[in-house]
Amino acid sequence: MNKMIRGGLPVAAAVMLLSGCAHVDRTSGTDSPSQAPATVEVSNHNWATINVYAVRSSMRSRLGTVESNETRTFRVPDTMIAGAGSIRLMASPIGSTRTHMTDEILVRPGERIEWNLENWLPMSSYAVYSGRVR
């Protein structure tokens, strides 16, 4: 019996130490902005349905599809913004061989990119917003 108590003490101590490392933002009831995912809100004013990708170096990650005259929000994978956090967004109209890419965008966790895709894709624009304020 005494051996069981002694063997359980290191485990109990480890559990108590690890539980103290967890972080929850109790003021807002949600994740803190640094732990919230980065998102891309795409408004498609183009006549075509468009596949949207996040591009970092030579790695491309498909975020989703946006129908014509539709707005959708996508989560940027954490692996795409880890480290430097610089990505490019790519629009690939379905049925076309042409694509459109943004300049490099510095984005951090919790930030939101609004990307307006126009009928002539080179006229598209984007803006980056910090936090969840709208």
pLDDT digits (tens, 9 = 90+) for 92-129: 999 999 999 999 999 999 999 999 999 999 999 999 99
Give the torsion through C-alpha atoms of 71, 113, 60, 76, to 10 deg. -90
Pick the CATH number of 32-129 from 1.10.287, 2.50.20, 2.60.40, 1.20.950: 2.60.40
Whose tokens are 């014509």? That residue is 68
- For the four alpha carbons of 64, 97, 67 and 35, in that order, the dihedral sign comes to positive
Beta strands 125-129; 59-66: pairing state: unpaired
Q: What value does the mean pLDDT of the chain take? A: 81
The model scores a pTM over 0.75: no
